Amino acid sequence: MNLDDMIILLFGKPLVFWLGLIVLAFFIIQVTLGILMTVGKKYGLLKYHKLNALILCIILLIHIFYGLSLYFNLHL
C-alpha cells in the first residue's frame, strides 16, 4: 500500500491535521475549566472537566496512532 493511499484528506488537509486542531481545542477547554474551578466559579464544572479529559485522551490517542502509522508506513 502506498503512503498516498493511507492519507485521508478533508478540505484539502490531512486527517492528522484536523485531529490535531481538535486536540488543541479540547486542551484549551480543559485548561479553561481547570482555571475556572480554581478561581472559585464552581458551577458544577468538575463533571465537564472529567468528561473533557476523557474525550481529549481518546482523540489524542487516535491522533498519535494515526500519525505514527503514517510516519512509519504501518498498515492499520
- At 57 the pLDDT is 95
Q: How many domains does the chain have?
A: 1
Range of the domain at 46: 13-71
Q: How far apart are CA 64 and CA 7, in angstroms?
A: 14
- At 35 the pLDDT is 86
Q: Is 6 a member of any domain?
A: no
Q: What share of the chain is helix, strand, coil (3-state, %, to 5)?
A: 75, 5, 20
Give the model's confidence band at 72: pLDDT under 50 very low, under 70 low, under 90 confident, else very high. Answer: confident
pLDDT in tens, 13-58: 888 899 999 999 999 999 998 888 888 776 788 888 899 999 999 9
Q: Is 60 a member of any domain?
A: yes
Residue 23, Cβ neighbours under 10 Å: how many?
19
Q: Is 76 a member of any domain?
A: no
Q: Against a cut of 0.75, is the pTM above it?
A: yes
Q: Is 2 a member of any domain?
A: no
